[in-house]
């Protein structure tokens, strides 16, 4: 006996529902992580300095007045070790030069402290935790790469690939679960009306 196309469609819907449900349950914590950290990262500049320290202002925006990057780097490391802890790593991750504000930000590689210096005087304008950097590492899965100090971003690549594929799967199966039953009902109604 040949099975109706409705039976085959219903079977596919059941399969997609199971796939959607169980993959959602398995990845729920990761999805919540991406959603929550994404919201926080979207608000980082408007968090009143809680997530991302506010950018301070220096006395001069003229680069001719500024000290050398090497002098500024040494001043930032000295401030970090004197004000926070001498045990913290001094390895720089990046230097953010903000000419319009007259400042230079130093972001460190092995911890989340950041130092802002006046470009002209090398005065310490701010030393604060950059919680947004931790959130970024959590959001994109690179926290383990950062923790294990890996040269490659293997955890980030794995995490973003798995989660990207999962979101594609959820979108396609979710659409199918929503769309196909409506299509079946419509076909059944049309069949009833032609048989009547």
- pLDDT at position 15, please? 87
pTM of the entire predicted model: 0.82
| Average pLDDT of the segment spanning 38-66 | 97
User: Across the strands, what pairs with 122?
Assistant: none
Which residue reads 């006395």 in tokens? 59
pLDDT, tens only, 1-47: 556 666 677 788 888 888 888 888 889 999 999 999 999 999 999 99
Torsion of CA 106, 108, 111, 115, to 10 degrees: -20
Residue, of 171 and 193, whose pLDDT is higher: 171
Calpha distance 40→51 (Å, rounded): 8
Distance of alpha carbon 173 from the chain centroid:
25
């Amino acid at each position: 006996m040949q099975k109706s196309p409705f039976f085959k469609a219903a079977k596919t819907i059941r399969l997609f529902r199971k796939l959607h449900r169980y993959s959602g349950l398995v990845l729920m914590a990761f999805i919540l992580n991406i959603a929550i950290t994404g919201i926080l990262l979207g608000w980082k500049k408007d968090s009143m300095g809680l997530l991302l320290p506010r950018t301070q202002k220096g006395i001069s925006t003229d680069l001719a007045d500024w000290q050398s990057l090497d002098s500024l780097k040494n001043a930032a490391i000295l401030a970090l070790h004197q004000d926070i802890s001498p045990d913290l790593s001094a390895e720089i991750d990046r230097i953010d030069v903000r000419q319009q504000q007259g400042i230079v930000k130093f972001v460190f590689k092995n911890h989340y402290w950041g130092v802002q210096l006046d470009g002209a005087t090398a005065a310490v304008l701010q030393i604060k935790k950059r919680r947004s950097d931790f959130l970024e590492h959590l959001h994109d899965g690179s926290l383990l790469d950062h923790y294990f100090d890996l040269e490659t971003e293997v955890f980030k690549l794995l995490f973003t690939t798995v989660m990207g594929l999962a979101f594609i799967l959820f979108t396609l199966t979710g659409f199918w679960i929503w769309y196909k039953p409506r299509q079946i009902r419509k076909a059944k109604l049309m069949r009833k009306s032609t048989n009547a």
